[in-house]
Structure 1
């Protein structure tokens, strides 16, 4: 038995019910400001009474918009689905988009071919703007999109200091200083750090914060106590193994994200070292991993959902033609548990 669609409401029936022209009804339902408040109220009431749903394809012909925004992560699928950071930021962005009745296009890009494919998709009018998370180095894709008129917002400051693309970031430098200070105040004197990939501004800023706090305490950062990771659990494990090969092992470690901190804790356990008695550890993120770590991880909380919300807020404002601030930096705070 097929559904009867003969009585499905149309734009003409909405216009007739509201007592306005078809063109006026179309402008109201497309969100145009060029209508009177009385006409707007009448059309919206008529659409609600008739259960009329706007044809998105037809609306896009009027507005030249897709009503879709892209959430783009430049990482491997393995990393995206293993790290709680990404779904937390995505959740925050989705909440704002849902409030604006916008569609979210979730994209994972890990190869040059995928970057080119997304550029063609976006430039073809399928999205009105893009949020970029976890960019590496001076990725040209955001600039390419802006050159063809597609608004872009970054998670984290741009790789180049002269890039004027809007961004939303956490206070990575200040959070790293707080983590390092906590280790110093806990009595650590042989501090080490496990960094993230240094082609990412967040990792650079967390390393800089660690270095600045050590210098403020009168200590000279030692190159032998800096190991580079890749923000993965295995990367943290390998980096901690490298630090433990030094003649004297560190008594405190600042790890640039929680996922690497879990790997570092495993390496310390394998080496027969007890946390926090022998080595104290502080992570960064305050993801769900911090509470299930053993021992539960002392870490720096960055507001991941808020980061997503702010990115979506800034991007929707740009798409609407509103003025926005060039950058938003969100505060971080230390969350004390059992590793420091």
Structure 2
């Protein structure tokens, strides 16, 4: 964007509207990120704003629209969990790319305890945010319900643990993904199957366990063990050790995320078992870490960046139109590598 010559008056919304040949109201809607303006008018306004080096007066716009032009991306996990799992960074990238297109600021927050949760709730209720994206909630977390009761739009990553009227969410088809993982193991001749689940106060973990069990029943197989982890690498190690202790003849393992699968691979190697000759392993996520493992991890891909983008798009749509959208369920796909 060209710099404005010294001494020239700053361009106004009126001058942008005049150059674009539209009303002041239309120009204002375009520059505030509205999606309700026709493409031709939108392009004319953006072109005029660029030619005039117009910069939106965010403070004035906030007074007019009563919006902060900020939304929050909130992860309900400890810091070490957030920074140790690429899943969250990929989700954040997808959300950021979407809000940036609408000239909206994304505020990032970690809330892992009651004090942090209460502090964030006060911040959100005080008008600093137009909406909130919530990730990785456990159990009956009251935060989404309390925020919506306060009039703050909320989008949830994952199906809520308990249904909340009017609470939209974006999720992966976890049941189908887990069924495909168990089915792949069975198709490769593995019939002594076990699973490492995620924490069972999270719907993703519940649904992945459900899918695994359903596929075994459909094939006339019985489970050779299920141990709960917490989606971390170390919990995958511990769970694999427990499985080998109770079912040393296990020949196939489905781990509910890639980090736990990588922990399981390490234990299998330490125990002298060859992967996939002795034990086949399938993860879930398609984390970048899985491609660098040796052997490279076969996994169920969920489209994490797309989920982040869908969360942000749904939230911005509710902020713009005042009504929540319908839940969004994204498909999964198997990614075949070297552990099956």
Give 3-state SS (helix, strand or coil) of 1:52's partner.
Answer: coil
Give 3-state SS (helix, strand or coil) of 2:321's partner.
Answer: coil
- Partner residue of 1:187? 189
Assess, with a 3 A threshold, how the Cα gap between structure 1 residues 25 and 230 changes in structure 2: closer, same or farther: closer
CA distance in structure 1 between the partners assigned to 2:195 and 2:41 by the alignment: 63
Assess, with a 3 A threshold, how the Cα gap between structure 1 residues 18 and 184 changes in structure 2: closer, same or farther: closer
Is 2:276 the counterpart of 1:276?
Answer: yes
Assess, with a 3 A threshold, how the Cα gap between structure 1 residues 196 and 22 changes in structure 2: closer, same or farther: closer
Report how many residues are paired. Answer: 336
Assess, with a 3 A threshold, how the Cα gap between structure 1 residues 78 and 247 changes in structure 2: closer, same or farther: closer
- Partner residue of 1:175? 177
1:86 pairs, out of 76, 85, 88, with 88
2:218 pairs, out of 216, 219, 226, with 216
Is 2:254 the counterpart of 1:254?
Answer: yes
Assess, with a 3 A threshold, how the Cα gap between structure 1 residues 233 and 33 changes in structure 2: closer, same or farther: closer
CA distance in structure 1 between the partners assigned to 2:301 and 2:40 by the alignment: 48
Q: TM-score, normalising length from structure 1? A: 0.89
- Listed as ranges, the gaps of 5+ residues in structure 1 are none
More off after superposition, 41-50 vs 204-213: 41-50
Q: Is the 8 A contact 2:192 2:223 kept in 1?
A: no
Q: List 4+ stretches of structure 1 deviating above 6 A.
A: 12-28, 31-35, 37-45
Q: Is the 8 A contact 2:301 2:333 kept in 1?
A: yes
Assess, with a 3 A threshold, how the Cα gap between structure 1 residues 38 and 306 changes in structure 2: closer, same or farther: closer
Assess, with a 3 A threshold, how the Cα gap between structure 1 residues 245 and 53 changes in structure 2: closer, same or farther: same
CA distance in structure 1 between the partners assigned to 2:162 and 2:196 by the alignment: 23
2:58 pairs, out of 56, 59, 68, with 56
| Cα distance, 1:101 vs structure 2 | 1.6
CA distance in structure 2 between the partners assigned to 1:149 and 1:133 by the alignment: 19
Q: How does 1:222-233 map to 2 (within 5 A)?
A: 222=224, 225-233=225-233
- Partner residue of 1:144? 146
- Partner residue of 2:106? 104
Q: How does 1:123-138 map to 2 (within 5 A)?
A: 123-138=125-140
CA distance in structure 2 between the partners assigned to 1:82 and 1:215 by the alignment: 35
- Listed as ranges, the gaps of 5+ residues in structure 2 are 1-5
- Partner residue of 2:199? 197
Q: TM-score, normalising length from structure 2? A: 0.89
Assess, with a 3 A threshold, how the Cα gap between structure 1 residues 286 and 322 changes in structure 2: closer, same or farther: same
Q: Please provide the CA RMSD for this pair.
A: 3.1
Q: How does 1:303-314 map to 2 (within 5 A)?
A: 303-314=303-314
| Cα distance, 1:87 vs structure 2 | 0.9
